[in-house]
Amino acid sequence: MENSKEIKAQRSISRGNNKILFTIISILLGLIVGAVVLLVSGYNPLEAYKALIEGISKSPRNIGWAIVNSTPIILTGLGVCFAFKTGLFNMGAEGQFIIGSVVGYLIAYALPLPPILHPIVAILLAMLAGALYGALAGWIKSKFGIHEVISTIMLNWVAFYFSNFVAYKYLKPNSMATFDVIDTAKITLVSKKTAKTMGPFFSKFFKAPIHWGIILAIVAVIIVWYILNKTVLGYELKAVGLNREASEYGGINAGKKIVQSMAISGAICGLAGATQILGFTYAISVTSAMDNYGFDGLAVSLLASNNPIGVIFSGLFFGSLKYAGSNLQRVLGVPSELINIIIGTIILFTSVPLIFRIIRAKRRNRKLKNTEVKDTEEKNPKEKVNPTRIRKENVQNDSVTSDNVEEKKIVSNNKSSSNIINETGEDIIVRTIESEEE
């Protein structure tokens, strides 16, 4: 047992190191592609990347602004990451972000409350709204079998037009934005007067509107990591994500877990919207297009290999790139779209290993089915074999009634006829609990 645990630990460490190495390589390849685009466009790549770095690190104020830009996409990236970890593709992070921002604004503007209580109530209700909006997509999937990508994309547009409707209702005269939220609801971390007394570095650092959102983002990352790795809920959610059929044989209500997963993901994205309103914009604007915080969160999650801790670093990286893009345009006249080219290339290279894993897992499944059919035909040469029926019967035969909690590890093994391999080729552990019959 100890040797097997040590082997598993070594494999997980090795896998983690490989992911980090490949992420670094993907970033370098993205920067190389960006350099090629700059050369073709007639710009000097070295000067451009120098301006990019200076746009982030030239002064403490720039660093502060990079953090402000990174905060919402860290949270939306975390929401997408949670859904990915449980086998769901949450394309509705943008819509859940918008719903959270609208509800947060309405509470912060129209409901007068004491200073400390006001932002807490606004954030909690915004998270609840985001959770309900995410749960709706999960319920549609579990009830009607409609893929979450379709339903969440449609819900994004519903949220977008609802935001514009609310913005028109509270529109400030001669402006395309609403009135600002009440001061008691703002979550600015340090006031300007206090910042002036904090020394040369922090007085400049807090010229950027740093708010409590970055602290809440770090806390949310820790909570999500704990839920996924240390709780029964996290185990069940990941089991459903890895293989829904196997988890249902293990006694898990897969439909309920899908709704719960999307609700938690939506709550995190709703938190992103609320903190953006209460800490930075203070108002809702009438817009002709989405702000793309949710879609940026998708890129952040992919770059972090769906690791909650990694989301912090990938979010800071993307947020810094996007902020520094304006400096690149100002200094050299380079279009800011170059940043999107670099980010897109990085995500493209990052997704390559996942594609190969899915292809490899499907090949293994195909070989396994062919082996099962061949074995059954040798035993019953006259009987026509259905591979799907064989796999279901094998899994049912493997479920033995017991008083105790049993752990059954379903792994790919050519000798076993009851193997189930998920699309990413990962091992699945299914726990079954069966009560003693009286």
Give residue 154's pLDDT band: very low, low, confident or very high (50, 70, 90).
very high
What percentage of the chain exceeds 90 in pLDDT? 40
Residue 273 belongs to a domain with what CATH number? 1.10.3470
The contacts of residue 399 (CB under 8 Å, 6+ apart) are 249, 432
Does 118 map to a domain?
yes
| Structure confidence by residue, pLDDT tens digits, 48-84 | 888 888 888 888 898 999 999 999 999 999 999 999 9
Q: Which tokens sit at 27?
A: 């970033």
Task: Pick 215 or 18 by higher pLDDT.
Answer: 215
Amino acid at 233: L
Amino acid 9: pLDDT: 56
Does 420 map to a domain?
no
Does 17 map to a domain?
no
Residue 76 sits in which domain range? 62-333
Give the C-alpha separation, 213 to 97, whole Å: 14
| Structure confidence by residue, pLDDT tens digits, 336-347 | 777 778 878 887
Contact 43, 341 (CB under 8 A): no
Span of 80-94, 109-123, 202-216, 340-354 with lowest mean pLDDT: 340-354
Overall domain count for the chain: 1
Mean pLDDT of the chain, nearest integer = 81
Give residue 423's pLDDT band: very low, low, confident or very high (50, 70, 90).
very low
Does 391 map to a domain?
no
Give residue 196's pLDDT band: very low, low, confident or very high (50, 70, 90).
confident
- Maximum average pLDDT range among 35-39, 104-108, 193-197: 104-108
Q: Average of pLDDT values for 231-259? A: 88
Amino acid 225: pLDDT: 95
For 28-66, give the DSSP string: HHHHHHHHHHHHHHT--HHHHHHHHHHHHHSSHHHHHHH
Q: Which tokens sit at 245?
A: 């059929």
Amino acid at 382: K
| Structure confidence by residue, pLDDT tens digits, 321-338 | 888 877 777 777 777 777
Does 297 map to a domain?
yes
Amino acid 285: pLDDT: 92
Question: Exposed, middle or buried: residue 10 (CB in 10 Å: 0-12, 13-18, 19+)?
Answer: exposed
Task: Pick 123 or 57 by higher pLDDT.
Answer: 123
**Helix, strand, coil share of the chain (percent; to 5):** 70, 5, 25
Q: Average of pLDDT values for 277-288? A: 93
Amino acid 357: pLDDT: 66
Contact 424, 357 (CB under 8 A): yes
User: Is the pLDDT confidence value at 394 over 60?
Assistant: no
Record the pTM. Answer: 0.77
Give the C-alpha separation, 424 to 364, whole Å: 11
| Structure confidence by residue, pLDDT tens digits, 399-422 | 444 444 344 333 344 444 444 445
Amino acid 80: pLDDT: 94
Does 104 map to a domain?
yes
C-alpha 176, offset from chain centre? 31
Amino acid 420: pLDDT: 45
Where are the extended beta strands (E) located within 152-278? none
Contact 436, 416 (CB under 8 A): no
For 93-135, give the DSSP string: HHHHHHHHHHHHHHHHHHS---TTHHHHHHHHHHHHHHHHHHH
Amino acid 406: pLDDT: 40
Does 357 map to a domain?
no
| Structure confidence by residue, pLDDT tens digits, 170-186 | 999 888 999 999 999 99
Does 322 map to a domain?
yes
The contacts of residue 383 (CB under 8 Å, 6+ apart) are 376, 377
Task: Pick 294 or 328 by higher pLDDT.
Answer: 294
